[in-house]
Amino acid sequence: MPSISGLSLSQWRREALRTNFWLVPTVEVLAAIALFWATWEVDRAVYNGTLSLPRWIENGSADTAREILLAVAAAIMTVIGINFSVTIVTLTLASTQFGPRMLRNFIRDRGTQLTLGTFVATAVYCVLVLLSIGPAERGVFVPHFSVSIVFLLVLIDLAVLIYFLHHIAIQIQLPFVIASIANDLTRFIEVRRPDIATSIGDQRHDADELAALIDTIESSGAMIRTPKGGYLQAIRYAKLVRIASAADAVVRLPYRPGHFLVEGRELAAVWPPEAADRVARGLKRAQVAGPVRALAQDPAFGIDQLVEIAIRALSPAVNDTFTALACVDWLGNSLCKLARVWAPAQVYRDRAGAIRVIADQISYERLVQRSFDKIRQASRGMPALLMRQLDALKAIMEQTTDADQARVLMDQAAMIQRANLESVPEESDRGDVERRYSALAIVYARLNDSTVSCPQPRHNLHLTGDPGAGLSRGGER
């Protein structure tokens, strides 16, 4: 029986909490308040004569302490304004150059959040210390230890400011943006790997039972309609299985995370029909929809981000071939990781082994298509991009042991070769691309049957050149 694969809502909430500018600064402000309380207690002990401080601790008058605190607070507020301006400029640049969907990667950046939080926390600490200066039962109370801590915080702020400038300068470079998106996708694969692996074996025995259940649900099941439009961001499969099991029902989900839900359209189908109301109430707690897509359970979102950067780079207004090459490289790397593990569970069972949830999942074929279709269409007549896509497909082919996956990869290669023959005018460039295609065809033939030569693809393409010379000619790799 497969495990309940898919990220939990708690993991989705952690991702949602990371994608904002208020959480980390709030935590640091609370830490500053706690620090003030601790240093104020020390100062009160010194004021009451129960504790003494070293001589190097600042011990000026109340006016001197106020001047120091006011100067530091004013300077920090200025730096906060500059920090905020730089952040806004970075977000604007990201939106115009990389696409509006890339803003999420900049907003969730911990470096920017920590920098903003550190400056705000220092300003809050200075204000609290400033307010604590005043008359007391034994004269004016001056928190000398707290004022001295301000100097330490200023040094920390200077270090953080230098880090922030370096971090922003690195972060806005396109190769780092592309690598960041690919790393997010890799982390998704690593988190999902145990659940995906345990779901593979069981699905092969589900086909007949699954087909019968789907026919029954379609013919006599009840429909649950979408209460509110938006992108499906996460589904809590384990909770939904418990809900269906308690109602002794089977739930079919025609949508997966990443799909857009239209208000009033079908959200799920339930059999038997009398369990629909109970399942509908539980489904509200088991799925989350929002205005944007999220990577938590949607690997296609990470792929689409890389593809968007690539096709923007290939537009006539930008014409940045090397950025598109980098995107193809990282797409190939991600699909290599997916090749051996991607078989997500379509059927979810309860503890008794009964099917309770039938879910729509994106296939490996669709992931490959989303990775290469748009880039292939935008790169017609560009041998460098065509060759790089074939190189990526060859690397993925070498990682797969599944004949169906290999066929999907070979179909993509055949379409790239056809685009080469139709759109590349220079014969030498066409030969370079054809050699890459021939090298891939050899790997495909070896995977299926080492004694059979590579079959001609159904697209009836013409191959020229020595298949073994795939990497011997020049051009962009």
**Single-letter residue type at 394:** K
Give dist(CA 173, CA 175) in Å, integer.
Answer: 6
Question: Which are the contacts of 31, defined by CB distance < 8 A and separation ≥ 6?
Answer: 121
The rounded distance, in Å, linking the Cα atoms of 472 and 465 is: 11
Q: Of 343, 255, 363, give the one whose Cα is nearest residue 300.
A: 363
Provide the b/e sequence for 201-235 (b: ≥16 CB within 10 Å). eeeeebeeebeebbeebeeebbebebeeebbbbbb
Contact status, residue 385 vs residue 375, Cβ threshold 8 Å: yes
Query: CA 230 from chain center: how many Å?
Result: 19
- What's the rounded Cα separation, in Å, for the pair 381 and 275? 57
pLDDT values of the chain reduced to their tens digit, one per residue, 477 residues: 333 344 444 566 677 777 788 889 999 999 999 999 999 999 999 888 888 878 777 667 888 889 999 999 999 999 988 888 888 887 787 777 777 777 777 788 888 899 999 999 999 999 999 999 988 777 788 898 999 999 999 999 999 999 998 998 888 888 888 888 888 888 777 765 544 443 444 454 567 777 888 888 888 889 999 988 999 988 888 889 999 999 999 999 998 889 999 998 989 999 889 998 899 888 888 888 888 888 878 889 989 999 999 999 998 888 889 999 999 999 999 999 888 777 777 888 888 888 899 888 888 899 999 999 999 999 999 999 999 999 999 999 998 888 888 999 999 999 999 999 999 999 999 999 999 999 999 999 988 764 344 444 433 333 333 333 333 333 333
- Tally of CB atoms within 10 A around 146: 26
Select from 125, 137, 139, 19 the least CA-distant residue to 77: 125
| Gap between the Cα atoms of 392 and 447, Å rounded | 17
Q: How far apart are CA 369 and CA 138, in angstroms?
A: 78
Rg of the chain (C-alpha set): 30
Which residues are within 8 A (CB) of 262 and not within 5 positions of it... i.e. 6 or more apart? 226, 229
Question: What backbone phi and psi angles, to 5 degrees, belong to 178?
Answer: -65, -45
Give the tokens for residue 146: 């707290």
